[in-house]
Each structure stands twice: as structure tokens, then as C-alpha cells.
Structure 1
Amino acid sequence: MKTYALKFKQNIPISLDEAWDFFSSPLNLEKITPADMRFVVTSDYTANTKMYAGMIITYKISPLAGIKLNWMTEITHVQDKQYFVDEQRFGPYALWHHQHHFREIAGGVEMTDILNYAIPFGIVGRLTNKVYVGKKVKDIFDYRVKAVEELFGKM
């Protein structure tokens, strides 16, 4: 199985507490995901739900031509105000391992995303990643940079 690794960094002019509160809430994912993905959290969480290791989050997404897919991730690791990791348990990827790191810096927070993923279906999956999925994943993270800047400002 071919795996792909991506790393994204963004500096945000907010406190570590504000960054952690926002990014560790599953309900805020919709705010930083492109509308064309039709991303909806279907888990029954409230704005006050705190993230914990073992937390299961379910979603509906439409990554391609309105095709609706179910997706389930588990928060496998949490170190308060430092990092958390989500891993796919059910969904479109053969592997999805996404680390979210937060570090206080002068004037705000440095946020780093480290993503390792794989597409199923062998050579067909590799071709699909080259033609579509790899670009789509990068576009989603590029959108997140802009959405986060609109929400919190730019450093």
C-alpha cells in the first residue's frame, strides 16, 4: 500500500487556549472545510464537548460529484494544548492518520498538521491519488488556511 505524507504549518494570532478550544471541537470542522465537500458532523456533540482519547466522531462527506460517504474517526491521542491525533476507523481511505500540533509562539500559535494517508485499490488508488485525491487533500488544507485567517486574522 502506497502512503502519502503531507505537512502544513500556519501561524495564528490567538492564544494557545483559544486555538485549542477551537480546533479540538469536532463541531468547528465544518467551519474550516470547503462547502463543496458538504461536510457534516453527525455525532451528537455540543459546543461544550471536550475532546478525549477514544472519542469517536462520525461525519457525512461528499468529496466527488455529490456522492455521499460516511466517515468515522477516532481521537487516539490527546495531550492538552499540545497535540491530538485522529485516525480513520471507517471511510474512504485505506489509512488516515492526522496529527494536529500546537505551539505557543510570539504573538500567537504555530499550528502544524501532519497527515499520512493511503488510498485503497492498489494501482488504481495510486492513479486516483495522482489525478484527483492528492490535489483535493491539498486544496482542503489550503482552504483551511484561508478560513482560519478569516476567523482569527493573519500573522
Structure 2
Amino acid sequence: MDESVTWRARHFGVYQTLTSRITDFNNPIFFADEMVSGAFRSFRHEHHFIDSEGVTIMTDIFEYRSPMGILGLLADKLFLKKYMTKLLVERNSIVKEFAESGKGKELLTGKNTNGSNFKR
């Protein structure tokens, strides 16, 4: 709760920096992060986890408001909603791969699955 992360990424050929903070947390079933600073007018990203017969299912709810008033609304209609949906699907695919392959545990523990250490 209240931890934050800042990252820099290139979208539409422009580097952007975004900071989000964990604003809601109910371990192990839910957390939400909200933008503190960045290109959006606002965003809230909820992560819901359920156990279904030993398999974890994650559901994302991503709500955002674009900047620039009517121009932002137009951007949403023309391309931004589709772009953000694709971005989240791709990111979740990577999260799934790390979780199921053991790579995620390696990142958390600093050890490869064969027991050797690696640097983060």
C-alpha cells in the first residue's frame, strides 16, 4: 500500500514518464494503482485475482481519462482505446509467462531456477 513506481516508455514515438501509486490493497485478491503524474488526465488500474481449481485468474480493469478535452476524446475514439487494450493484453501475456515459467520467482529471489545467483 502506498508504494509507487516510475517508468519511462516510448509511445507513438514520444518518450513519456509515468508514476503510479498503490491506492487500494487487499492481499492476495486485489490491488489498484493510480497515476500520480504522467500523460493521462487520470487513470486507475485494478488487478483482481481469483483461484479457480488451483489456477490463478487475473482480471484487469483499466479506467482512464485522456488529456486535452475534446481532442483527447477524439484520440480515444480513433486509436487510443484500441492501443491501450493491446498494450495491456501484451503486458499480461508477459506477466503470465513469467509467473508460469518460474522467471517471476527468479526476479523476486535473485536466484535462477538452477540455484545460481544473478544480478538484477
TM-score range, shorter chain: 0.7 to 0.9
**Residue matched to 2:11:** 63
1:79, 1:137 → 2: CA distance? 25
After TM superposition, the structure 1 = structure 2 runs for residues 74-153 of structure 1, keeping only pairs within 5 Å, are: 74-151=21-98, 152=100
| Mapped partners of 1:86, 1:148: distance in 2 | 17
Alpha-carbon distance in 1 for matches of 2:47, 2:96:
17
TM-score, normalized by length of structure 1?
0.60
Whose RCO is larger (CA < 8 A, sep 6+)? 1
How many residue pairs match? The answer is 100
CA RMSD of aligned residues (A): 1.6
> 1:72/1:111 Cα in 2 relative to 1: closer, same or farther (>3 Å)?
same
Unaligned runs of 5+ in 1: 1-52
Structure 2: which 5+ residue stretches go unaligned?
102-120
**Paired residues for 1:29-40 under 5 Å:** none
Between the two proteins, what is the percent identity of the paired residues?
27
Question: With structure 2 as the length reference, what TM-score do the two structures score?
Answer: 0.76
Q: Which has the larger radius of gyration?
A: 2
